[in-house]
């Protein structure tokens, strides 16, 4: 028995973090947030060179054939550095399109870039929703991810079935609290799917797990920043980290987050080996880490005092990353309801 990361997995995460420390430094992220195309493309190129696109594509389709645990480690690093990236959507596409080798080949070669319009899989609001009639998709989807520059779109219809369509032009950006990641409203007027994969419970479970891994990274960054700030900032003639009131806030953050890391590993491993409990664990992981992350986003800001509230320190980028992630692919309440349903606990 060994419940730990392999040497390769640690290396993967460390080397990615090395890349992100440069291409996704806070200065670069600030530029991306105000629409600096150069900074965006520098980050994109760095991640493409790292080979993220082909990570989850099976080897026989030209990819690296790594698993969800590896994907979670990548997503955690991206979250830690609040780096915008198409990795999550690409990873979802790669896991969903197992029976479409042509599309997988394109993903591995970096020629297909996927967007995702699946918000309505968990929540339909304001008349949104995509229906399939006579083999064509019509309707609209809110808060679609990774749409800019996408060649393909993974779309969920009103029955939660997935389809792949070619890029859609009728899109309008939706402004959110998170300026680093773009979200769009997408309109479908009779798009013909080029693929319709069957994924069952697994798709949403994987999506929720990856977003949990992103929050894990962002929350860990907020803890690290709080601990570092508390070691420097002085009040009443001593560093504030020596006051128990501050120390206990940091201990509570660490105590809440650390088991979430193990739960994500466990859920990813369970999904990787096809353990039937995998989807339950993934949904519980989304709930657990979203709740811990929300607590940490607030508490780390408070440890920074007034400075935490300013743009100067930039902590708000992580606060917003965690806040957005909490809602993506369904709230913690929805993830818990899914977990209950998967266990047959609903009447």
Partner 1 sequence: MKLDLDPEYEAFRAEVSDTLAKNRHLAPTSEDKGYKNARRIAWQKLLIEHGLAARTIPKAYGGYGGEPDILKARIIAEEFARTRTPGPMAGQGISMLVPTLLELGTEAQKQAYIRPTIEGEMIWCQGYSEPGAGSDLAALRTSAVEDGDHYVINGSKIWTSTAKQADMIFCLVRTDPAAKKHEGITYITFPMSTPGIEVRPLVDMTGSANFNEVFFTNVRVPKSGVIAKPNVGWQVANATLTHERGMLGDPNATKARFLELVTLMKDESVNGQRLIDNPLLRDRLMKLQSEVYAMQANGLRITTSRLKGEPAGLAGLIVKLNGCDLNHEIARLAIDALGELGILYEDGEHLRADGSWQWRYMYDLGLIIGGGTAQIQKNIIAERGLDMPREPKLAKA
CA separation for the pair 142, 98 (Å, rounded): 26
DSSP 3-state assignment of 98? coil
133's torsion region: left (phi>0), alpha (psi -120 to 50) or beta? beta
Q: Which stretch binds partner 1 (CB under 8 A): 54-62, 100-108, 114-122, 337-345?
A: 337-345
Using rule CB under 8 A, residue 347 touches partner 1: yes
**Site for partner 1 (CB under 8 A): which residue of 287, 294, 300, 325?**
287
For residue 18, the tally of other CB atoms under 10 A from its CB is 12
For partner 1, give the closer residue by CB, 21 or 340: 340
Taking the C-alpha atoms of residue 228 and residue 119, their distance in angstroms, rounded to an integer, is: 37
User: Which of 129, 269, 295, 313 lies at the binding interface for partner 1 (CB under 8 A)?
Assistant: 269
Q: Which residues are bridge partners to 191 per DSSP? A: 137
Nearer to partner 1, 138 or 327 (CB): 327
Number of residues that bind partner 1 (CB under 8 A): 48
- With CB under 8 A as the contact rule, the residue among 63, 260, 293, 308 that binds partner 1 is 260
- Footprint of partner 1 on residues 40-79 (CB under 8 A)? 69
Using CA atoms, how far residue 254 sits from 26, 179, 184, 250, 311, in Å, is 23, 27, 35, 6, 25
The SS3 assignment for 172 reads strand
Nearer to partner 1, 194 or 340 (CB): 340
Tell me how far, at minimum, the Cβ of 230 lies from partner 1, in Å. 7
Site string for partner 1, 230-249 (x = CB under 8 A): xx------xx-xxxx--xx-
Rank residues 3 and 34 by Cβ distance to partner 1 and give the closer one.
3
- Please report, to the nearest 10 degrees, the dihedral formed by the alpha carbons of residues 327, 332, 336, 337 taken in order: -50
**N- to C-terminal Cα separation, the chain:** 37
Residues at the interface with partner 1 (CB under 8 A):
1-6, 69, 223, 227, 230-231, 238-239, 241-244, 247-248, 250-252, 254-255, 258-260, 262-263, 265-266, 269, 272, 281, 284-285, 287-288, 291, 332-333, 336-337, 339-340, 345-347
């Amino acid at each position: 028995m060994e419940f730990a990361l392999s040497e390769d997995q640690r290396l993967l995460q460390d080397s990615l973090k090395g890349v992100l420390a440069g291409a996704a430094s806070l200065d670069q992220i600030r530029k991306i947030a105000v629409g600096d195309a150069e900074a965006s493309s520098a980050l994109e190129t760095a991640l493409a060179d790292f080979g993220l696109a082909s990570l989850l594509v099976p080897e026989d389709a030209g990819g690296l054939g790594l698993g969800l645990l590896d994907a979670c480690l990548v997503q955690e690093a991206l979250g830690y550095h609040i780096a915008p990236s198409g990795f999550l959507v690409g990873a979802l596409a790669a896991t969903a399109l197992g029976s479409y080798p042509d599309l997988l080949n394109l993903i591995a070669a970096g020629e297909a870039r996927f967007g995702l319009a699946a918000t309505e899989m968990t929540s339909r609001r304001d008349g949104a929703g995509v229906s399939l009639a006579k083999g064509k998709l019509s309707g609209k989807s809110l808060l679609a991810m990774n749409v800019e520059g996408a060649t393909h779109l993974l779309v969920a219809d009103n029955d939660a079935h997935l389809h792949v369509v070619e890029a859609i032009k009728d899109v309008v950006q939706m402004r959110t609290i998170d300026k680093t990641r773009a979200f769009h409203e997408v309109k479908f007027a009779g798009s013909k799917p080029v693929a319709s994969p069957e994924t069952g419970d697994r798709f949403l479970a994987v999506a929720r797990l990856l977003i949990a891994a992103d929050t894990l990274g962002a929350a860990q960054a907020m803890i690290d920043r709080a601990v570092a700030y508390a070691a420097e900032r002085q009040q009443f003639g001593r560093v504030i980290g020596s006051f128990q009131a501050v120390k206990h806030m940091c201990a509570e953050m660490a105590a809440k987050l650390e088991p979430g890391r193990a739960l994500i590993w466990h859920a990813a491993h369970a999904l990787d080996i096809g353990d039937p409990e995998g989807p339950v664990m993934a949904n519980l992981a989304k709930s657990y880490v979203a709740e811990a992350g929300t607590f940490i986003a607030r508490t780390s800001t408070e440890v920074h005092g007034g400075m935490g509230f300013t743009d100067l320190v930039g902590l708000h980028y992580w606060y917003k990353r965690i806040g957005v992630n909490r809602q993506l692919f369904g709230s913690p309440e929805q993830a818990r309801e899914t977990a209950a349903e998967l266990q047959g606990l609903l009447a």
